Amino acid sequence: MTHEPTRQPTRRGILKTLAVGAASAPAVVRGRNLNDKIRIAVVGMGGRSNAHGKSLVELEKDSSANVEFAGVCDCNEGPRKSAQLAWSERAGHRIEAYDDMRRVFDDPNIDAVTFATPNHWHSLCVILACQAGKDAYVEKPGSHNIFEGRKMVEAARKYDRIVQHGTQCRSSENIIEGIRQLHDGIIGKVYFARGIAYKIRGNLGQHAPRPVPDGLDWNAWCGPAPVHEFSNFQLRRWHWIWDYGNGEIGNQGVHQMDIIRWGLKIDDHPNQISSVGTNFMQQEVHDSSAQTPGVLSTSMKWDDGRMIEFAVRDWYTNAEAGFRDKYPFVQKDFPVGVIFLGSEGTMIFPDYSSYYTFLGRDRELGPHASEPGSPISDLPHFQNWVSSLRSRNPEDLSAEILQGHMSSSLCHLANIAYRVDRTVNFDPKMETFVDDAEANQLVSRPPRAPFVVPENV
């Protein structure tokens, strides 16, 4: 893989600000009794941290798991203190609070770390955890860009770490069953797949600079991303800002992209990507500062002829394939899901825990399975991760980090084609665009020392 050279931070510099290198890290899982209690800390007290905390509290109740919810970490004092108080009460024991990741990585009593930070931190979090000898669980998408995702995988391999990616559908028994049926040929030869994420977002607001609130380390929050003037919009609406997030396709769509890859047995990148879109509602109607597209239509093609489509919408819309109206998503007003088309029928995955097949011209209902409430499989995904921490076998993971990188990259490729506003050609092995300097600028991002994702992890 080739990329523009970047100046690497010194070990002293990165240690001083946040990270811990492998040389200074204690050996935590290798060399210890695999039956010992696994002590886990959660970094990032955003929305998804609630699912992490709930799963860890449930795992503590299972004596066979032998897990302890040991710590919470955030660079924002208010959420950190609130989380420490709330989770200590729910767990029935004191949970340590850390004000930066360095202290988590330095703590020899912490064995593994989960990350529920904004996207722009995901890959560097995993890399630093691996270098410190910690296993990791990272929320989706695993990376902010393609280069950082590959480095994350390299770190997991180099330091022999068990890293789970937060595409929880891979731990749903019903989704697993549906994919098995698909692979066994229930709808014949599959020739096409389409994913959608239609979620009404409303007015996302405006960037209105104001002083950084007391207790928030804004420099640490920005980390590897540029430091902009603080505003509540930057802090709360980061999904829709290019420097911090990846838009709806990287927020919701990565789950559906992962099911598409899984169903089609795709283990390489596409060669050709086209994306067109608009941010009409946010820019023209809501007068919002949101940057990512509210409407996006993407097509991708592989060398062997396989093709997929993905669509994003952020306002009033019709449904597709019965999503929302007949087969509701966990958020009932939103049509979200995956459609597979085959020579003998169709299959849909309308949520995080169900599938339905329809056979022949008359669309006769075939094998299907669902679960009331369409829940996301947070606890089973954590259970799978903890079991893999015991076995020390990455192949036991439902969503090993390479799968996370590959699925996240589809979202990045869609966004890049949209941003350059033309069809792009991609080299799957090099993970760069063919003779396209403009697109290649978006494969990574300018480094901000000392929060640099290194070329050599």
Which CATH number goes with the domain that contains 143? 3.40.50.720
Average pLDDT estimate for 243-253 = 98
Q: What backbone phi and psi angles, to 5 degrees, belong to 347?
A: -140, 140
Average pLDDT estimate for 227-235 = 98
Q: Quick one: pLDDT at residue 236?
A: 97
Q: Quick one: pLDDT at residue 31?
A: 53
State both tokens at 279. 């941010």
40 falls within a domain: yes
pLDDT, tens digit, 9 for 90 and up, residues 129-141: 999 999 999 999 9
Do residue 179 and residue 293 come from a single domain? yes
pLDDT, tens digit, 9 for 90 and up, residues 80-122: 999 999 999 999 999 999 999 999 999 999 999 999 999 999 9
Do residue 192 and residue 157 come from a single domain? no
Peptide bond into 450 cis (omega under 30): yes
Q: Domain containing 337: what range?
A: 172-207+233-373+411-429
306 falls within a domain: yes
E runs forming strands in 22-160: 38-43, 67-73, 96-98, 112-115, 135-139
454 falls within a domain: no
Q: Quick one: pLDDT at residue 3?
A: 37
385, containing H or E segment: helix 378-391
Do residue 388 and residue 303 come from a single domain? no
Do residue 294 and residue 384 come from a single domain? no
End-to-end CA distance of the chain: 14
218 falls within a domain: no
Beta carbons within 10 angstroms of residue 277's beta carbon = 23
**CA 90/CA 28 separation, integer angstroms:** 27
Do residue 148 and residue 176 come from a single domain? no
pLDDT, tens digit, 9 for 90 and up, residues 330-382: 999 999 999 999 999 999 999 999 999 999 999 999 999 999 999 999 999 99
Q: Quick one: pLDDT at residue 26?
A: 36
Do residue 201 and residue 57 come from a single domain? no
450 falls within a domain: no
Share of the chain above pLDDT 90, in %: 92
Look at the chain and report how many structural domains it folds into: 2
Return the DSSP state at 283: I
Across all residues in the chain, what is the average pLDDT? 93
Query: Pick from 438, 415, 439: which is nearest to 426 by CA?
Result: 439
The contacts of residue 256 (CB under 8 Å, 6+ apart) are 195, 196, 197, 310, 336, 337, 338, 349
Average pLDDT estimate for 263-283 = 98
b/e burial code for range 378-400 (CB count within 10 A of at least 16 → b): bbbbbbbbbbbbbeeebeebbbb
- Asked if residue 6 has pLDDT above 70, the reply is no
User: In the chain, count of helices (H) and strands (E)?
Assistant: 15, 16
Do residue 261 and residue 138 come from a single domain? no
**CA 269/CA 1 separation, integer angstroms:** 14
Q: Quick one: pLDDT at residue 34?
A: 66
438 falls within a domain: no
452 falls within a domain: no
pLDDT, tens digit, 9 for 90 and up, residues 154-191: 999 999 999 999 999 999 999 999 999 999 999 999 99
pLDDT confidence tier of residue 35, bands split at 50, 70 and 90 = confident
| Residue bearing tokens 């003998």 | 344
Do residue 266 and residue 310 come from a single domain? yes
Do residue 239 and residue 356 come from a single domain? yes
